[in-house]
Amino acid sequence: MKVRLTNLIIGLVAMFASTIASAGQGTQLNLTQGVTEISQTVYGLHMLVFYICVAIGVVVFGAMFISIYRHRKSRGVEPAKFHDNLRVEIAWTVIPFLILIGMAVPATMTLLDMDDTSDSDLSVLITGSQWRWHYSYLDYDVEYLSNMATPREQIYGRLPQTENYLLEVDRPLVVPVGQKIRFLITSDDVIHSWWVPEFAVKKDANPGYINEAWTRIDEPGIYRGQCAELCGRDHGFMPIVVIAKEQAEFDEWIQGEEQRLADARAEEERLLSMEMSEDELMSLGEQVYLSQCAACHQPNGQGIPGVFPGLAGVGVSIGDQNAHIDIVVNGSAGTAMQSFRNNLSMRELAAVITYERNAWGNNTGDLVQAADIHEFIQGNQ
Amino acid sequence: MSTTVTDTHGAHDAHDDHHDHKPTGIKRWLFTTNHKDIGSMYLWFSFAMFLVGGSMALMIRAELFQPGMQIIDPHFFNQMTTMHGVIMVFGAVMPAFVGLANWMIPMMIGAPDMALPRMNNWSFWILPFAFLIMLSSFFMPGGAPAFGWTFYAPLSTTYSTDSTALFVFSMHIMGMSSIMGAINVIVTIMNMRAPGMNYMKMPLFVWTWFITAFLLIAVMPVLAGVVTMVLTDKYFGTSFFDAAGGGDPVLFQHLFWFFGHPEVYIMILPSFGIVSAIIPAFARKPLFGYASMVYATAAIAGLSFLVWAHHMFTTGMPTFASLFFMYMTMLIAVPTGVKVFNWVSTMWRGSMTFETPMLFSLAFVILFTIGGFSGIMLAITPVDYQYHDTYFVVAHFHYVLVTGAVFSIMAAAYYWLPKWSGVMYDDFLSKLHFWCSLVSVNILFFPMHFVGLAGMPRRIPDYAMQFADINQIVSIGGFLFGFSQLIFLAVALKCAFKKGEPAPAKPWEGAEGLEWTVPSPAPYHTFDVPPKV
C-alpha cells in the first residue's frame, strides 16, 4: 500500500508540474522589472531576498530531509539524548540577525529614495471614486475622468474577451518620459489604491487626505494597473492606463487638450440657449447613464436592494424635478452618491436626468435642458 | 517536558470514572461545565464553521475559475470574501484552539477541570449565537457585510449596508467569548498546576496558550472599541474615521491592525505548542531547546505589538514610521527561526516514525516556513509596495493559516483522538486525508504567489486574461482541498461512534505528558486527586 500511495503522489506531482510548465509559457510568473530606475531596484531587492530565502530553505529543509531519511526507526536507529547546545543556539540567533541587517540596508536606501517627492517636473492630482479615476494636471488647465472601457458584454460572456480585458480605459493618463512626475493621490469616497506595477508605485487614495508618490519613466509605452484596495462592488473594474510619451509629443498633446477643453466650455455656453429634442436627450442620456450610473443603479434602473436605491418607479426620478437635479449635481452627503457637477457637462447632466425621468416606465414627460441645470447651479451659488 | 508519573495514578482515575454524574441528552451539552464536553463542543463547532467558511471559498474559486462573471454578482462575491475571512478566523481557527485548550490544558497540568467551569460553558454557548446573527445578515436587503474581514472605514461605515450593525454585535459577542476563554486559561494555568509542575516543566502547548491568552486579553478590547466606533460613525453621527468631521480613515487601520497583528499570532502560537509536543513524540527524542522555545514564544508575542503598521505601508505613513515597522517586522524572523531550527534539531538523530500526526507536523514545519519566507519578503517596505493587496499576500497568509494553523490543528486532532474517543482513528483514511490535503493545498496556494507577483490584486471577482491559466489551476486545487476535508469528517465520525481499535492509555511510544497517564478514552473526571510530577 505504502509504495502504491507514494507512486500515486509522485504521479500527481509530476502532472501538476507539467501543467504549471505548460501554463508557464507566456504566463508571467515573477515580479515585473518595470520601466523606472526605482522599479528595477525594487525588482533587485525582491530577487535578493528571494534567493536568501531559497538558500536558508535549502539548508533547513535539507537537514530535515536528511534526518527524515537517515534517522528513522525503520532503519533501526537508536535516538540520541541531547536536548540543547548553547553555542549552536547562539549561532542561529546571531547569524539570521546579521542576514537581516544585510537586507535592511539596501531596503532602507530604496525607501528613502521612493519617499523623496521633492523637485518634481510635473504634478498630477489623482482622485479615486467609485469606480473611476479622475486626473487633474496641476500645471495645466486639463482634467478628466478615466473609466473602464471594457464593455459589459465581454464581462458577461456575450462577446469574447479581448487582449486588454478589464485593463483598458476610455481616457488614459498621459505623461512625459524622463521627467520626475509627482502624483498627489486622494479619494472622493472610500479608500482606493493607485497602482501601476511597472513604476513600482502603489499608494492609497484616502478620502480627505492627500498622499504623494513619484516616478520617472524611462521608456515610452502603455502601462496598465488596477485599483489595489477593496472599494466596493466594482473594485475589480477600476483599471489604470498610463501612456508615456516623448516630451515633445506630450507637450503637443497637453496643448491640444487645453484647447479642446476650452472649446468645449465655450460650446457649452453657446448651447445653453439651445433646446435639445427628446430623442437627443434620451439617446445622450442613455449613453451617460450606462457609463456613469449603471454600475450602482443597474442598467434596468432597479438598483441593488439594500445597497443602491432603484430609480425605476420610485424616489426622485418620479418626484420633484429640482430635487432630482440637486442630487445628481451635488450628490448626497453620507452616501455613495457622488457629485457629478465637475464630471459631466451641463448637456450631459440634463440628458441623463431626462433619461432617468422617462426611462423604464417612469414616463414623467419632463424634459430637462442644459439651461435648467445652469439656472439651478446659478441659483445654488 | 521531563514529566514522569507512575501508572498507579492512571489506575486511580479509571476508578473515579464510576462516579460520573451527568445529565443525558441535550441537557448534558447545554448545562455542562465539564472541560472535556466543552472542548468537544468547541471542536465540532469549529469544524462546522470550517466547512461553512470553506464552502464560501469554493464559491469564490468557482467564480474565479475563468475570466468573466459567470456565477455570482460582484457584490455577492465581496460578501463571500468577507464572510469567508470572518468565519475562518473567528469561527474555525480560534474556537478550534480554544477547544484543544479546554480538552488538553487541565489534563496536561494535572488539574481536574478548568478553573471557571460555568464561565467556560457561557463562553462556548454565546458563540453559536454570534455566528447565527452574523450569518442571518445574508437574508437582509443588501445581504451580508461586503467590506472584507478587515472592514476598512469608510467602506464599512458611510458606504455599507445595514448588515454592519449585525456584524458589529456578533463581533462583540465573539470578543466576549474569546476574553472569557482567555481568562479561564490564565487562571487555570496559574492556580491549578499539579504539585511539582512548575512553569518551566509545563508542556509547550500549555506555555504557548498561556502567552496567547495574554495576547487575547490585550487586543480583544481594542477590537471591541474599533467595531463600536464603526457603529457610532455609521449610526450616531460621530466622525472617528471621517475627515469631513475631523476624523481619519487611516486611524481605523491603526486600531484594527493593533488588534489584527497580535490576532495573527493568537492563531499560530498554539500551533507551535502542538508541533512541539508531536515532533519529540515521534522522533523519540526530547524537544531541543525547551527554554529557548518558551523565550522565543514570549519574544514573538512581545514583538507582535510593535509591527501592526506593516499591513499599512501604502497608506502614506511618514518614512521613519515605515522604517521602524520594517525593522521590527524583520526582527520577528529571529525568534521564529529559532523555533524552526529547534524542531529540525529535535528530529536530528532521533528515531522517527511517520504516523499521521507526525506527517501533518512535518508538513507544518516546511509549509509554515515557506509562509515565513514570504513574510520576510513582505516586510521589506519598498518591495511590499509591489506585493501589497495582491495574491502574493493571499498566498502568504494562507500558507501560515492553512498549512500552518489548520495543519497543526489536524495534527493535534489525530494525536489526541485516541485519548478523546478511546479508539484509534482509521489509519488508511487518515493517511489518505493527509496526502490529499498536502498535494491539493499546494496546488491551491502555491500558484497564488505567481499570479500575485504578476500583478493580480486580491478581492477582485474577475481578472485580466494573463491571470487565467493560474487561476484555473488554483481553483482546481481549491476544490480538491475542500473535498479532501470530508475524509477528515469521516475519520472523526468513526472515532465519535467508537468504530476502531480500542486505544491504549498511551498509543504513541515516544509521547510524554500527564494526559497519557489516564486511560483512553479519558474518564469524564480526571485528576480529582492531583498527580505528583
Confidence grade of residue B11 (pLDDT, cut at 50, 70, 90): very low
- Side chain identity, residue A19: T
- On the question of pLDDT at A4 being above 80, the answer is no
Q: Which CATH topology does B7-28+44-517 take? A: Cytochrome C Oxidase; Chain A (1.20.210)
| Whole-angstrom distance, CA of residue B155 vs CA of residue B227 | 13
Residues in chain A: 381
pLDDT in tens, B431-486: 999 999 999 999 999 999 999 999 999 999 999 999 999 999 999 999 999 999 99
Extract the C-alpha cell encoding B439: 498535494
- Greater pLDDT, A19 or B114: B114
- Chain A CA closest to residue B142: A306
Question: What pLDDT sits at residue A374?
Answer: 84
Question: What pLDDT sits at residue B14?
Answer: 44
What is the pLDDT averaged over residues A165-175?
A: 95
Question: What pLDDT sits at residue A373?
Answer: 86
Question: What pLDDT sits at residue A12?
Answer: 57
Confidence grade of residue B9 (pLDDT, cut at 50, 70, 90): very low
Give me the interface pTM, i.e. the ipTM.
Answer: 0.90
Question: Å from A293 to nearest chain B CA?
Answer: 16
Q: Are A229 and A204 in contact (CB under 8 A)?
A: yes
Q: Tell me whether residue B113 is one of the annotated catalytic residues.
A: yes
pLDDT in tens, B30-74: 999 999 999 999 999 999 999 999 999 999 999 999 999 999 999
* 3-state SS, residue A119: coil
* 3-state SS, residue B144: coil
Confidence grade of residue A361 (pLDDT, cut at 50, 70, 90): confident
| Whole-angstrom distance, CA of residue B4 vs CA of residue A20 | 51
Percent of chain B exceeding pLDDT 90 equals 93
What is the pLDDT averaged over residues B144-170?
A: 94
Q: Which among B373, B437, B442 has a CA at the least distance from the CA of B407?
A: B437
Q: Chain A interface, mutation test: which of B328, B462, B471, B487, most A Cβ atoms within 10 Å?
A: B462
Q: Are B531 and B110 in contact (CB under 8 A)?
A: yes
- On the question of pLDDT at B509 being above 70, the answer is yes
Q: Is the peptide bond before B530 cis (omega within 30 degrees of 0)?
A: no
Q: Are B79 and B18 in contact (CB under 8 A)?
A: no
Pairing of strands A181-187, A192-196: unpaired
Compute CA distances B354 → B204, B399, B429, whole Å: 21, 22, 15
What chain A holds in terms of domains, given with CATH numbers, is 30-114 (1.10.287.90), 122-267 (2.60.40.420), 274-380 (1.10.760.10)
- On the question of pLDDT at B164 being above 60, the answer is yes
What is the pLDDT averaged over residues B122-151?
A: 95
pLDDT in tens, B79-93: 999 999 999 999 999
Q: Is the peptide bond before A133 cis (omega within 30 degrees of 0)?
A: no
Question: What pLDDT sits at residue A379?
Answer: 80
B199 in contact with A, Cβ within 8 Å: no
Question: Å from B178 to nearest chain A CA?
Answer: 28
Answer whether A165 sits within 8 Å of B353, measured CB to CB: no
What is the pLDDT averaged over residues B357-368?
A: 97
Question: What pLDDT sits at residue A8?
Answer: 57
Selecting among B44, B122, B125, B149, the annotated active-site residue is B149
B287 in contact with A, Cβ within 8 Å: yes
Answer whether A71 sits within 8 Å of B75, measured CB to CB: no
Residues of B within 8 A of A214 (CB-CB) are none
Residues of B within 8 A of A104 (CB-CB) are 326-327, 330
Mean pLDDT score of chain B: 94
Confidence grade of residue B173 (pLDDT, cut at 50, 70, 90): very high
Q: Which among A143, A152, A328 has a CA at the least distance from the CA of A237?
A: A152
- Burial of B120 (C-beta count, 10 Å sphere; 0-12/13-18/19+): buried
Answer whether A28 sits within 8 Å of B454, measured CB to CB: yes
Question: What pLDDT sits at residue A14?
Answer: 62
Residues in chain B: 533
What is the pLDDT averaged over residues B271-292?
A: 96
What is the pLDDT averaged over residues A265-292?
A: 84
What is the pLDDT averaged over residues A22-49?
A: 87
Pairing of strands A221-227, A192-196: antiparallel
Extract the C-alpha cell encoding B275: 508541533
Distance of CA B5 to the CA centre of its chain: 31
- Which residues are CB-neighbours of B103 under 8 A, at least 6 positions away? B35, B36, B39, B40, B43, B416, B420
Model pTM score: 0.90
